Amino acid sequence: MRSSSVSPYDLQDWAKRAGFEMIMIHGGHGWLINQFLSPYFNHRTDEYGGSLENRCRFACQVLDAVRAAVGPMFPIEFRFSGSELFEGGYDLEEGVRIAQTLESRIDLLHVSAGTYQRGFGDTHPSMFKDHGCNVYLAAEIKKHVSIPVATIGGLNDPAQMEEIIASGKADVVYMARALLADPFLPRKVMENRSEDIVHCLRCFTCMAERAATGTRRCTVNPLIGREMEGDEVQPALVKKKVLIAGGGPGGLYAAWTAARRGHSVVLCEKEVALGGILKSEIALPFKREMFALTETYERFARNAGVEIRFNTEVTPEYVEKEAPDALIIAAGSRPLVPPIKGMDGEQVVVVNELYRNLDKISDKVVVMGGGLAGCECAISLGMEGKEVQLVEMRDALAPDANVRHRPLLLKEIEKQVKAVHTGYRAEEITPEGVWCTDANGERHLVEGTTVICALGQTINDLFAYGLKWGAQSASTATSICLIFASSLLTGLGVYDKIGKYAGAGSIVPITGFANSVVSPAMEFRREGLVMGVGAKLFTLAGPVLTYGIGSSIVVGLAALAMGAGR
């Protein structure tokens, strides 16, 4: 044990020689050093197990070896969990004692929380937790040590971070996911531009994508994981007139990027407010960052010179009148409302319209639909004290949620929802509730005086128009670009809908499109717009019809990722 704890630390000397100015040793989150510190993991009976002194021995030897390698004047940071936050692990009281044991060997104590094995949502606070929910651990430990203390945990608000430092709860604040969402956050704070920060949604797309593909992606930052393609938007060689249909996040981001490239951009929104489906997030307090994204993107677009027209629906006649060089259809999706008997009742609220009808929600609610939207709606209403029952015809809830978010979502469902009925098909809505049929054909009444319809989304008719028009208008000089909410149409479903209008023979795979509005590396053929990674180009007789199906983490020409919201 002693030799194995010392020999690798030549690496620390190499890090110093390579020009690094500090070393952080990770002793938390269930990693090796934490497993020695934890009574839950450490069942040894030798000098490394049992008492707290013994459980700290390995960490002490590691830090002594690092200090010997780097010398006395080189700063060493030690990261550990202030409490493991589960029964059987060490608590905050022992966390204080661990900190006191190790402080003489380090220069900065980095206080996090939990372990991956037993509390991923503690180490990386989810949207269901308060920002800064782990700060209290650092604040308490700081009272008992004499070295600087750092804190972390869902921090992305400069005002909150300023308060943490000013009040003495910690000496340093850390961000991780917040800097994936907006790498320029610190610069914007220093320049008093906090309103321009693109906030992390805490949706776990970054970690879920890494688990699935080995790379990082971000719902609100399409450049993450694609930095080698270039991270600067370059002026287009030929300036074009671009008409964008739809003022949701996809349309706004596309407009902003096209304007930065020098194009003349007009964005049309048929309603009186921007945001598209993000407007529905107003009703969910734990998703306020997602709704706020609309305001941020609108400011970016206006500052770049985009003309925004409200109460303006883009029709074929409107396109002919405006005669743009490129038409970007970012009309988003609409709720799927099947013809269930009683669906037109006054007690029924479509989930997208919940924010307009909060005063209509009674104390007993049935949510029809156990996808991501329905589950998050049920959780929010449960947090308000409503008695909520969830009806889902599939056998599992939220299969559309990513692998990191879903387990935490299901835990919240257990806490906030009275009953979950999977395998139930809604047949009729009455004033008493929803009559459902189970897999055996038996009928059940799920009682509730308010019914929320959260049965999914489908594409807007304007997309079908775009496909038809692109296929039939060979003489037009306008090129059409379709921005789809990617989780709505994936795999063979995409080709079925394309083939219906464009014909399978016109499908020509090429490189690029998911990152289309931000990558300057590849040009949108003939238009001087921008293409990125992962879609198909359909070349028809005259116009270029581009259909973006990219991964579910792209903002821009794949709308807002459904894995992060709806």
Q: What secondary structure letter does DSSP report for 504?
A: G
Q: Residue 255: is its pLDDT beyond 50?
A: yes
- Are 513 and 551 in contact by the 8 Å Cβ rule? The answer is no
Q: What is the pLDDT of residues 395-439, one digit of tens each?
A: 999 998 999 999 999 999 999 999 999 999 999 999 999 999 999
Q: How far apart are CA 233 and CA 529, in angstroms?
A: 11
- Are 300 and 455 in contact by the 8 Å Cβ rule? The answer is no
Give residue 545's pLDDT band: very low, low, confident or very high (50, 70, 90): very low
Give the pLDDT confidence score for residue 460 in this predicted structure.
76
Q: Residue 245: is its pLDDT beyond 70?
A: yes
Give residue 213's pLDDT band: very low, low, confident or very high (50, 70, 90): confident
Q: What is the pLDDT of residues 326-379, one digit of tens each?
A: 888 888 888 999 999 999 999 999 999 999 999 999 999 999 999 999 999 999
Helix (H, G, I), strand (E, B) or coil at 563: helix
Q: Residue 551: is its pLDDT beyond 70?
A: no
For 289, the token pair is 């960052």
Give the pLDDT confidence score for residue 214 in this predicted structure.
82
Query: Span 197-214, mean pLDDT?
Result: 90
Q: What is the pLDDT of residues 95-109, one digit of tens each?
A: 999 999 999 999 999
Q: Residue 553: is its pLDDT beyond 80?
A: no
Query: Span 468-480, mean pLDDT?
Result: 52
Give residue 515's pLDDT band: very low, low, confident or very high (50, 70, 90): very low
Give the pLDDT confidence score for residue 326 in this predicted structure.
86
Classify 108 in phi/psi space as left (phi over 0), alpha (psi -120 to 50) or beta: beta
Q: What percent of the chain has pLDDT over 70?
A: 79
Q: Residue 550: is its pLDDT beyond 70?
A: no
Higher local confidence (pLDDT), 492 or 314? 314
Q: How far apart are CA 494 and CA 547, in angstroms?
A: 9
Element counts in the chain: helices (H) and strands (E): 19, 25
Give the pLDDT confidence score for residue 462 in this predicted structure.
64
Higher local confidence (pLDDT), 204 or 330? 204
Closest CA to 100 of 47, 31, 92: 92
Q: Burial of 504 by CB count in 10 Å (0-12 exposed, 13-18 middle, 19+ buried)? A: exposed
Give the pLDDT confidence score for residue 478 in this predicted structure.
62
Give the pLDDT confidence score for residue 481 in this predicted structure.
65
Give the pLDDT confidence score for residue 420 in this predicted structure.
98
- Which position has the token pair 């620390």? 12
Q: How far apart are CA 41 and CA 457, in angstroms?
A: 45
Give the pLDDT confidence score for residue 233 in this predicted structure.
79
Q: How far apart are CA 132 and CA 451, in angstroms?
A: 34
Query: Span 262-275, mean pLDDT?
Result: 95
- Are 369 and 353 in contact by the 8 Å Cβ rule? The answer is no
Neighbours of 540 (CB within 10 A): 16
Distances (CA, A) of 204 to 183, 201, 402: 17, 8, 7
Q: Residue 522: is its pLDDT beyond 90?
A: no
Give the pLDDT confidence score for residue 493 in this predicted structure.
25
Give residue 475's pLDDT band: very low, low, confident or very high (50, 70, 90): very low
Give the pLDDT confidence score for residue 558 in this predicted structure.
25
Q: What is the pLDDT of residues 220-240, one digit of tens each?
A: 988 888 888 776 778 888 899
Concatenated DSSP letters for 93-160? HHHHHHHHHHGGG-SEEEEE--BHHHHHHHHTT-TTS-TTTTHHHHHHHHTT-SS-EEE-SS---HHH
Closest CA to 204 of 277, 284, 123, 113: 123
Q: Residue 208: is its pLDDT beyond 50?
A: yes
Give the pLDDT confidence score for residue 185 in this predicted structure.
96
Strand 433-437 with 443-447, pairing:
antiparallel
Give residue 44's pLDDT band: very low, low, confident or very high (50, 70, 90): very high
Q: Residue 470: is its pLDDT beyond 80?
A: no
pTM above 0.85, yes or no: no
- Are 110 and 78 in contact by the 8 Å Cβ rule? The answer is yes
Give residue 477's pLDDT band: very low, low, confident or very high (50, 70, 90): low
Q: Residue 556: is its pLDDT beyond 60?
A: no
- Are 512 and 474 in contact by the 8 Å Cβ rule? The answer is no
Q: How far apart are CA 85 and CA 28, in angstroms?
A: 12
Residues contacting 94, CB < 8 A, separation 6+: 52, 83
Give the pLDDT confidence score for residue 505 in this predicted structure.
24
Give the pLDDT confidence score for residue 334 in this predicted structure.
87
Q: Residue 518: is its pLDDT beyond 60?
A: no
- Which position has the token pair 């750092």? 150
Residues contacting 96, CB < 8 A, separation 6+: 140, 141, 144
Closest CA to 474 of 446, 493, 496, 502: 502
Burial 383-394 (b: 16+ CB within 10 A, else e): beebbbbbbbbe
Q: What is the pLDDT of residues 140-151, one digit of tens each?
A: 999 999 999 999
Q: What is the pLDDT of residues 122-181, one digit of tens each?
A: 999 999 999 999 999 999 999 999 999 999 999 999 999 999 999 999 999 999 999 999
Give residue 528's pLDDT band: very low, low, confident or very high (50, 70, 90): very low
How far is residue 534 CA from its own chain's centroid? 19
For 310, the token pair is 């409200």
Distances (CA, A) of 566 to 44, 333, 412: 47, 10, 17
Mean per-residue pLDDT over the chain, rounded: 82
Query: Span 380-384, mean pLDDT?
Result: 97
Q: How far apart are CA 296 and CA 196, in angstroms?
A: 6
Query: Span 233-260, mean pLDDT?
Result: 90
Q: What secondary structure letter does DSSP report for 517?
A: T
| Phi, psi (rounded to 5 degrees) for 161 | -65, -35
Q: How far apart are CA 154 and CA 174, in angstroms?
A: 9
Give residue 465's pLDDT band: very low, low, confident or very high (50, 70, 90): low
